[in-house]
Chains A and B, each alone.
Chain A
């Protein structure tokens, strides 16, 4: 009997040691579970801000589906529901199922802030593409826009449209400039004026509005004409550090005379998102 018990105890001990060395398998399982948890967290984060994203292909419908003209859109009250059709001119980088789009048609322009959009659809938002957007009109710090969370659909078979830049140089500082809010515009013959960096030095541009950024962040620079100075911006989510305009601004020198194109964004006044800069000969 004693021998049997001893044998059983030995067996149990051996099995116990075997169980101890079995941790690897458990760890692997656990590791997989944890790694999925991270992924689901990302998904959780991705979905968090995206509202009812329902963008999808849809055939062009001739029926009257409440689409507004630009005039009707402008006349619509803030926080009222709007439906517009317009052509994509550019967009900022897609992020967490959202994308900010600059749209225009022959009558005027629209700024679509954080449109609900899948990554797949974002790839199809190429300049010229016509889309139908449903959302709410709102205003943020002076910028009239279609509010975050609007939905859109592609209009299949539609024509395309790319806006020519409207020269608004002469309108700078006037009340008429805001009439062209969000449009693709140009500014000609403006002179790069000094900005002050952190040490108080005169510089041609800053990373972030006060120089607190680094390459890759928004660029801010001052340009003057007719004795007045304006602050323009290269929005990094629209034109990143590898784009020609970003590099062109980084190469600017105080006193350079430049022509620019961009979208007439508004923040407490005109704050154009510049997309091209050419130094005059």
Chain B
């Protein structure tokens, strides 16, 4: 009898506890035992390109090659040139349950998609599946193993305990420099670019001649230092200074004293005209190529637009100026400990009722990681492949060794930009991902934009007022930190009653044991 009671007690203890949990399980997809090739599948792929026909053609070729291997899967390509538009369309389509199957995205955006239940498929189980996983036995192409994806890039796709994406391409930011003008101003480029150096040269470039032209270029226009992505600028400066931005729980740390110092510096150099931004003035590449900019900071994935001999040019030919272009990593506060952002497209899969359709999507996504696709796409810009398998392939190493052979495929600036990331992968970082991290990123850039505009509009900088304005604009005070939204919430009434009953049981049993022992002693 006692054994039976003990057994029942164990059961009673375990079951109620189990009943209190498990309601938040969002893993609805599980890998089918086998892929049903007797069926036809139609999957959609929303892809972003840099308004670059070569990239579009690679997507199309990849789809054609994949469909040859899997004739029962049709992939419909939808093209975007803007991550923001993809994000907005996905959000709209989540509510109507018409999300794409596969989508180019950023982890920040996935964090928002995940606020819908079971929207994005966690990939861990798919990675590991012996038949259809990475390097799986039933995959009809040479897919990379998980260990062959650059660990740093793969880590960027993990959050909330799961992999929700795979990296597709990676880039960082680079500083494209008019070395000719730097030297004309009497400076020599250091081994590692520093913020102090950039500010000093930029201020020197503001000197004008007797005719009112800038002395260094003899033109009426000179914007020595232009930053394309001011959110990256703020984020990287803060990281280099070891200052707060946000933590993994979603706490906003952006509005700190270091940020205020950075904004003061921006104000100082915007006031002289030495610093400007893409949003206020235009593309850094256009000014660089017209001899109107000395330091143009943009993505390594924008390298084909940079320099006198750039294969892509967006200004009239008569405005192009001859100069020597050099690619360097972004300016640093501590040259001994360089830090730069890791960016670039990732891919995620949206969940569907039919697990076979999800599996078809996964096979296609995996195909995008093959050497053929990775190497071809990376060559369209200063991207690098995300697999070590591609990075170490003979074909890719040969490509890297031929920098400068022509001004198209082997355009030196583009290859130098890619090499910059390859050599600095360990120095890259990403910011924590949470629902609201995309807004925080925008807010970081907005601070710089507002200061830059404000100075020119003769508005006095009030950092605290600016902080309040930006917090309100991006609703940063509404971001929920992880600790705010404890997964289990309050216990349901039933569970409370259950636990109370358990207590009563234990008390009852205790009483019984005591009475029993007393009786025996007697």
CB pair B435–A41 under 8 Å, yes or no, is yes
| Chain A residues with CB under 8 A of B117 | 30-31, 34-35
Is A251 an interface residue, CB under 8 A from the partner?
A: no
Is B162 an interface residue, CB under 8 A from the partner?
A: no
| Chain B residues with CB under 8 A of A211 | 53
Q: Which single member of A8, A11, A41 contacts B112 (CB below 8 Å)?
A: A41
| A168 nearest CB across to chain B (Å) | 19
CB pair A16–B16 under 8 Å, yes or no, is yes
Bound-state CA distance A24–B143 (Å) is 40
Q: Which residue of chain B has the shortest Cβ distance to A35 in the bound complex?
A: B116
CB pair A268–B314 under 8 Å, yes or no, is yes
| B319 nearest CB across to chain A (Å) | 8
Q: Which single member of A4, A9, A43, A50 contacts B8 (CB below 8 Å)?
A: A9
Report the stretch among B281-289, B351-359, B382-390, B396-404 that lies at the interface: B281-289
Instruction: Number of A interface residues at 8 Å Cβ cutoff, please give it.
Output: 60
| Chain B residues with CB under 8 A of A74 | none
| Chain A residues with CB under 8 A of B56 | 198, 212
CB pair A208–B23 under 8 Å, yes or no, is no
Is A5 an interface residue, CB under 8 A from the partner?
A: yes
CB pair A45–B8 under 8 Å, yes or no, is no
CB pair B473–A47 under 8 Å, yes or no, is yes
CB pair A38–B94 under 8 Å, yes or no, is yes
Bound-state CA distance A213–B281 (Å) is 26
Bound-state CA distance A136–B494 (Å) is 61
| B114 nearest CB across to chain A (Å) | 9
Is A209 an interface residue, CB under 8 A from the partner?
A: yes
Q: Which residue of chain A has the shortest Cβ distance to B23 in the bound complex?
A: A26
| Chain B residues with CB under 8 A of A11 | 501
CB pair B494–A45 under 8 Å, yes or no, is no
| Chain B residues with CB under 8 A of A6 | 5, 8
| Chain A residues with CB under 8 A of B314 | 268
Bound-state CA distance A80–B314 (Å) is 28
Instruction: Number of B interface residues at 8 Å Cβ cutoff, please give it.
Output: 69
CB pair B95–A38 under 8 Å, yes or no, is yes
Bound-state CA distance A16–B438 (Å) is 42
Interface residues of B in 73-93 (CB under 8 A from A): 78-79, 81, 87-88, 91-92
Is A156 an interface residue, CB under 8 A from the partner?
A: no
| B477 nearest CB across to chain A (Å) | 11
| Chain B residues with CB under 8 A of A48 | 439, 442, 473-474
Bound-state CA distance A147–B456 (Å) is 13
Is B49 an interface residue, CB under 8 A from the partner?
A: yes
| Interface 1/0 per residue, B1-44 and A, CB below 8 Å | 10001001101100110111011100000000000000000000
Q: Which single member of A13, A23, A80 contacts B23 (CB below 8 Å)?
A: A23
Q: Is the interface of A mostly helix, strand, loop or mixed?
A: helix
| A94 nearest CB across to chain B (Å) | 13
Q: Which single member of B282, B456, B495 contacts A141 (CB below 8 Å)?
A: B282
| Chain A residues with CB under 8 A of B88 | 45, 96
CB pair A80–B15 under 8 Å, yes or no, is no
Q: Which residue of chain B has the shortest Cβ distance to A211 in the bound complex?
A: B53
Is B478 an interface residue, CB under 8 A from the partner?
A: yes
| Chain A residues with CB under 8 A of B438 | 45
Is B64 an interface residue, CB under 8 A from the partner?
A: no
Q: Which single member of A40, A44, A45, A138 contacts B280 (CB below 8 Å)?
A: A138
Bound-state CA distance A35–B94 (Å) is 9
Is B502 an interface residue, CB under 8 A from the partner?
A: yes
Q: Which single member of B5, B54, B475 contacts A47 (CB below 8 Å)?
A: B475
| B442 nearest CB across to chain A (Å) | 5
| Interface 1/0 per residue, B55-75 and A, CB below 8 Å | 111000000000000000000
Is A170 an interface residue, CB under 8 A from the partner?
A: no
CB pair B286–A268 under 8 Å, yes or no, is yes
Is A79 an interface residue, CB under 8 A from the partner?
A: yes
Q: Which single member of A4, A210, A269 contacts B508 (CB below 8 Å)?
A: A4
CB pair B8–A13 under 8 Å, yes or no, is yes
Interface residues of B in 382-437 (CB under 8 A from A): 435-436
Using A30-B23, A212-B52 as known contacts, say yes or no to A19 and B79 having CB atoms under 8 A apart. Answer: no
Q: Which residue of chain B has the shortest Cβ distance to A210 in the bound complex?
A: B53
CB pair B492–A19 under 8 Å, yes or no, is yes
Is A62 an interface residue, CB under 8 A from the partner?
A: no
Bound-state CA distance A37–B282 (Å) is 35
CB pair B512–A45 under 8 Å, yes or no, is no
| Chain A residues with CB under 8 A of B49 | 212
Using A8-B508, A30-B117, A268-B316 as known contacts, say yes or no to A40 and B478 having CB atoms under 8 A apart. Answer: yes
Is A12 an interface residue, CB under 8 A from the partner?
A: yes
Is A124 an interface residue, CB under 8 A from the partner?
A: no
Interface residues of B in 314-346 (CB under 8 A from A): 314-316, 319
| A138 nearest CB across to chain B (Å) | 7
CB pair B15–A16 under 8 Å, yes or no, is yes
CB pair A22–B494 under 8 Å, yes or no, is yes
Is B248 an interface residue, CB under 8 A from the partner?
A: no
Q: Which single member of A2, A26, A141, A213 contacts B283 (CB below 8 Å)?
A: A141
Q: Which single member of A23, A141, A208 contacts B51 (CB below 8 Å)?
A: A208
Bound-state CA distance A16–B8 (Å) is 12
CB pair A136–B453 under 8 Å, yes or no, is yes
| B311 nearest CB across to chain A (Å) | 11
Using A19-B19, A41-B112 as known contacts, say yes or no to A213 and B439 having CB atoms under 8 A apart. Answer: no
CB pair A34–B116 under 8 Å, yes or no, is yes
CB pair B508–A16 under 8 Å, yes or no, is no
Is B520 an interface residue, CB under 8 A from the partner?
A: no
CB pair B495–A19 under 8 Å, yes or no, is yes
Q: Which single member of A13, A45, A79 contacts B12 (CB below 8 Å)?
A: A13
CB pair A15–B91 under 8 Å, yes or no, is no
Is B238 an interface residue, CB under 8 A from the partner?
A: no
Using A22-B492, A48-B442, A79-B453 as known contacts, say yes or no to A38 and B475 having CB atoms under 8 A apart. Answer: no
| Chain A residues with CB under 8 A of B95 | 35, 38-39
Question: What are 22 A-B pairs with beta-carbon distances under 8 A?
Answer: A5-B505, A8-B501, A8-B505, A9-B12, A12-B502, A13-B12, A15-B498, A17-B15, A19-B492, A20-B19, A35-B95, A38-B91, A38-B116, A39-B95, A45-B87, A80-B457, A198-B54, A198-B56, A212-B55, A212-B81, A214-B78, A217-B81
B residues engaging A (CB < 8 A)? 1, 5, 8-9, 11-12, 15-16, 18-20, 22-24, 49, 51-57, 78-79, 81, 87-88, 91-92, 94-95, 112, 115-117, 280-283, 286, 314-316, 319, 435-436, 438-439, 442, 453, 456-457, 473-475, 478, 492, 494-495, 497-498, 501-502, 504-505, 508-509, 512, 515
The 3 A-B pairs of least Cβ separation, nearest first, read A19-B19, A37-B115, A16-B15
Known interface pairs A1-B512, A20-B19, A198-B56; 18 further A-B residue pairs with C-beta atoms within 8 A, sorted by A's residue number? A2-B1, A5-B508, A9-B12, A16-B15, A30-B23, A35-B117, A37-B116, A38-B94, A45-B87, A45-B91, A51-B473, A141-B283, A208-B51, A208-B81, A210-B53, A212-B51, A213-B79, A213-B81
A residues engaging B (CB < 8 A)? 1-2, 4-6, 8-9, 11-13, 15-20, 22-23, 26-27, 30-31, 34-35, 37-45, 47-51, 78-81, 96, 136, 138-141, 147, 198, 208-214, 217, 268-269
